[in-house]
Amino acid sequence: MRLTDGLLGIKEAVSSSLNVQSFLSSSNGSHPSLSSPALLLDLQRAAGSLHFLSLLTVVLVPTASAPTDCAQWCPPKSSCVNATACRCSPGFTSLSGDIFTNRLENCDDINECGPPPRVSCGKFAHCLNTEGSYHCTCSPGYELASGAKTFRNESENTCQGKNHPTSSISPTILSRFFEKVEDLARKFIPAFAQDSIQGLIEGVDELLQTPEDLEALPRSEQHRVATNLLAGLEDVLRNISQALPNGTLTFNASAGTDLSLKVQEQGDRNVTLSLNQAKMLLSLDEVHGSSDSGPSVVGLVSTPGMGKLLAKAPLVLDPKQQALLRERKEWLGEVSPVLLSDVVSAFVSNKDTQNLSFPVTFIFSHRSVTPGPTQKAFCVFWEHSQDGGGHWSTTGCEMVVTGDASTTCQCSHLSSFAVLMAHSHVQKEDPVLVVITYVGLGLSLLCLLLAALTFLLCKAIQNTSTSLHLQLSICLFLAHLLFLTAIDQTKIKLLCAIIAGALHYLYLASFTWMLLDGLHLFLTARNLTVVNYTSVSRFMKRLMFPVGYGVPALIVAISAASRPSLYGTPTRCWLHTDKGFVWTFLGPVCTIFSINLAFFLMTFWIVKNKLSSLNRDVSTLQNTRMLTFKAMAQLLILGCTWCLGVLQVGPAARVMAYLFTVINSLQGAFIFLVYCLLSRQVREQYGKWFRGVRKAKAEPENYTLSSGAVSDASKHSA
């Protein structure tokens, strides 16, 4: 396929999207109306038609002389006739015809569809050329009676109208654009490549300056046309530039479409290209493939008019930015993002530029704008989709700095880029949940303090079990206190990271003491069957402090050493969700909950089936119910509440959020209720303390009364 076909490919890419050939071929000047479903099919075919440039450099870099062996010098798409001649394959021809003897000739695709056309597809149909062949399709709004998609000639034409809503498009501007591209293709000479590029830039500029034809299309179809035009323009410029002399060239058009090119064999590998509204900085060593031959080409083209077609395209954020918005409790609004800058396309001679080791820097100048509190600027590129359209995406691009009238971006690939302004919304905290959290945690702090004082001062109940409950209460008290006072201290990043690490440690320590409490309950129930209390107490005293405080410290130390930057988020002094870091907390929590659930089931089984045989008094219905209730309450305390936090997804997220907040904020109250108020020994001790307090208050009163009586008696005696 020659360079002329390459230029005509832009015409084919857009015309197949719009099916303008049906307009231009109408004998009476009228045109059939277009239906959206048929346009979609044409646009999908347009995406594939842009591969016409793959053999473009054959003309620009002629093949060197080959040996006289027939099999070696016959070019592609041909076969050997004899020692001196070759024959082109069907659907291809050379300048000398099907058979040729000149070794510099090539077999090029025969464009059966013209102009001038070599085949006739008949009424309500048009011809589409393919490599080595062609086919006919019905015009938009029409279909074959058989339901087939293609046919070969007019004799097979059974195109008939379809009942779809239609819209009309005037072909005036498009036809002028196509005529200009065809004229450039006919007159192309490598020595005058600059003139061809200038003419192409002016043609695209004129098309985008007044795109009434294109703007009449639905938005999705506008995106398909823009995708094809951007890709086709980039490919043509990349290949034509191979014929340019070394140096930097600039091409301008009246409506603002600009092109800056640099061609060089060697020299400074750091390249800077500048346009009126954009600048690009890259390293040729990064984008020039090791297998590339010929000069290095770098180009930057600005198409301001493209914004009319892409202005209301959707924006898709990469997963990292989506996670960041979720952490900040923000989301993008339904209003379409606004283009702040011109659309610029960057290309080099090497097509493989999707994963660059060092990013390419773009500096955009745009209209002065100050983002409001609900507005965010994004560095984006136009990502092609499988249906031939596309959307704006932030993948591989990040914003370095932005100001009122300029934005600096860095991207790890080359494509078409722009700066967008999108509206965001901040998810306000539920005031009811805030009140529940503060009231519940305040009550828990009071209950945990009372429980800790009870376990510490009540001599009658002090044993291994109360020691475990004391450490659990202390850890939860400190964790809840730090949560209430410092969870929002995000201004100083280091301080926020320290607070997040302290919360991580204290909550893990709480769960570890919960695990030890569950283990102690199980061992106590198991050893009751053999009346072996001493071994349990000795084992737990040796184990509990190294495990209770050592294991959480080890987990936090490993987490902080591997990902120190993930302690603290923009809105909370807690763990980041990036790279699954939050599972350094959720993982141990789920493990402890699972183990404690196993301990509960085994303890329940022992209490039900074996403990009654030890002592008839212990196995009464009342005591069995009390042991079962405490075991169930302990399971609730030992992590069930935190599992509700993991379930805050989907339609039930709000319900789970309320359950989690209410139950977890009252965890301290549960501990005080189960281990203090429901304990007979503790209630008896509370009674002794209250009686002692009342007695202490009564003694001064009795002393005062007795003193008054003595005084009155002495007066009477006097």
Q: DSSP per residue over 583-640, as a string?
A: HHHHHHHHHHHHHHHHHHHHHHHHHHHTGGGT-TTTTSHHHHHHHHHHHHHHHIIIII
Residue with the bigger pLDDT between 25 and 466: it is: 466
Whole-number Å distance between alpha carbons of 198 and 195 = 5
What phi and psi, each to the nearest 5 degrees, are found at residue 128?
-125, 120
Q: What is the pLDDT of residue 49?
A: 32
- The answer to whether 153 and 125 have CB atoms below 8 angstroms apart is no
Residue with tokens 């009751």: 528
Residue-wise pLDDT tens digits, 500-528:
999 999 999 998 988 888 888 787 777 75
Q: What is the mean pLDDT of residues 609-633?
A: 54
Residue-wise pLDDT tens digits, 175-198:
667 667 767 776 777 788 888 889
- The answer to whether 654 and 660 have CB atoms below 8 angstroms apart is no
Amino acid identity, position 431? P
In a 3-state reduction of DSSP, which class is residue 242?
Answer: helix
Residue-wise pLDDT tens digits, 305-356:
888 888 778 888 887 777 666 666 555 555 568 888 999 999 988 887 888 8
Residue with tokens 């196995």: 619
Percent of the chain with pLDDT over 90: 16
Whole-number Å distance between alpha carbons of 8 and 232 = 10
Of 49-63, 79-93, 509-523, the range with the lowest mean pLDDT is 49-63
Whole-number Å distance between alpha carbons of 270 and 100 = 46
Asked whether residue 56 carries a pLDDT value surpassing 80, the answer given is no
Of 48-57, 413-422, 475-484, the range with the lowest mean pLDDT is 48-57
Percent of the chain with pLDDT over 70: 70
Where does the pLDDT of residue 557 fall: very low under 50, low under 70, confident under 90, or very high at 90 and above? Answer: very high
Residue with tokens 């102690």: 520
- CB contact set of 609 (below 8 Å; sequence gap of 6+): none
Question: CA angle at residue 12 from 11 to 14, to 5 degrees?
Answer: 70
Chain centre distance of CA 499? 28
Residue-wise pLDDT tens digits, 444-458:
899 999 999 998 888
Q: Helix/strand/coil (H, E, C) string of 357-422? A: CCCEEEEEECCCCCCCCCEEEEEEEEEECCCCCEEEECCCEEEEEECCCEEEEEECCCCEEEEEEE
